[in-house]
């Protein structure tokens, strides 16, 4: 994987969302990947431009040992109504690498489906750009085997809004539906797909 990492933050009407959770992941990644122990607060480095003060944007921070680039990209939600299971037992994306080559290759194999769910060693992990949640008729659960431990996922777990458990391919029939969460999609606005729309 390349040495550059990214952090993507939801910017809505000029406000940066979940900044504390992004700071936590950003500083943990800096320590693991670059050996940097100094804690940085992203809010001190991000100044929302006037062009991004209204509407929905992805604030994309590219960084290595220092912050290399901050971009504001207008965001439109895409529709996801079907998911294809794809297996890859060796994929590693536990840090948010800017190099998404393997993820892109898997996504290109989705065929007529809107998105993918990556299966690693029989266990459910993430979609192309999101962590997965599964609803059992009573509550939402997230797999304990994500490719990337997302900030939205971390927040929902800390707030006890979702539970954590092992979910294998064979377990899918125990659930009614799957939701996709990331920095842009939360529990209130995430795509929700019936379990029978996963193949």
Distance in angstroms (rounded) separating the CA atoms of residues 2 and 68: 14
pLDDT of residue 3: 80
pLDDT for 97-141, tens place per residue? 999 999 999 999 999 999 999 999 999 999 999 999 999 999 999
CATH architecture of the region 83-197: Alpha-Beta Barrel (3.20)
* From 1-5, 39-43, 126-130, the region with the lowest mean pLDDT: 1-5
Please compute, for residue 174, the number of CA atoms within 13 A of its CA located in the half-sphere on the CB side: 13
Q: Among 3.30.420.40, 2.40.50.140, 3.30.470.10, 3.20.20.70, what is the CATH number of 5-74?
A: 3.30.470.10
pLDDT for 55-100, tens place per residue? 999 999 999 999 999 999 999 999 999 999 999 999 999 999 999 9
Instruction: Give 158's pLDDT tier (boundaries 50, 70, 90).
Output: very high
Where in the chain is CATH 3.30.470.10?
A: 5-74
**Would you give the DSSP letter of residue 189?**
T
Rounding to the nearest 10 degrees, give the CA dihedral for residues 7, 10, 14, 19. -60
Give the mean pLDDT of 157-179.
98
Where in the chain is CATH 3.20.10.10?
A: 83-197
pLDDT exceeds cutoff 50 at 20: yes
pLDDT exceeds cutoff 70 at 12: yes
pLDDT of residue 1: 42
**Cβ neighbourhood burial of 40 (10 Å; 0-12, 13-18, 19+):** middle
Distance in angstroms (rounded) separating the CA atoms of residues 5 and 2: 8
Percent of the chain's residues with pLDDT above 90: 97
Query: With helix as H, strand as E and coil as C, how does 89-103 read?
Result: CCCCCCCCECCCHHH
Laid out side by side, the sheet with 140-143 consists of 163-165, 140-143, 131-135, 177-181, 192-194
| Average pLDDT in the chain | 96
pLDDT exceeds cutoff 90 at 167: yes
Give the mean pLDDT of 36-44.
93
């Amino acid at each position: 994987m390349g040495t550059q990492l990214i952090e993507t933050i939801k910017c809505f009407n000029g406000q940066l969302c979940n900044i504390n959770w992004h700071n936590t992941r950003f500083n943990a990644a800096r320590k693991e990947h670059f050996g940097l122990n100094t804690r940085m607060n992203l809010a001190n480095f991000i100044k929302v431009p006037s062009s991004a003060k209204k509407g929905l944007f992805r604030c994309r921070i590219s960084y290595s040992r220092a912050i290399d680039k901050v971009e504001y990209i207008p965001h439109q939600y895409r529709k996801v109504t079907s998911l294809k299971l794809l297996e890859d037992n060796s994929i590693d994306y536990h840090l948010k690498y800017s190099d998404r080559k393997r993820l892109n290759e898997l996504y290109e194999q989705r065929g007529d489906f809107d998105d993918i769910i990556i299966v690693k060693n029989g266990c459910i992990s993430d979609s192309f750009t999101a962590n997965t949640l599964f609803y059992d008729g009573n509550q939402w659960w997230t797999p304990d085997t994500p490719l990337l431990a997302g900030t939205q996922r971390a927040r929902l777990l800390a707030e006890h809004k979702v539970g954590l458990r092992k979910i294998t391919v064979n377990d899918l029939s125990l659930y009614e539906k799957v939701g996709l969460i990331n920095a842009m999609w939360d529990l209130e606005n995430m795509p929700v797909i019936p379990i029978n729309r996963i193949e």
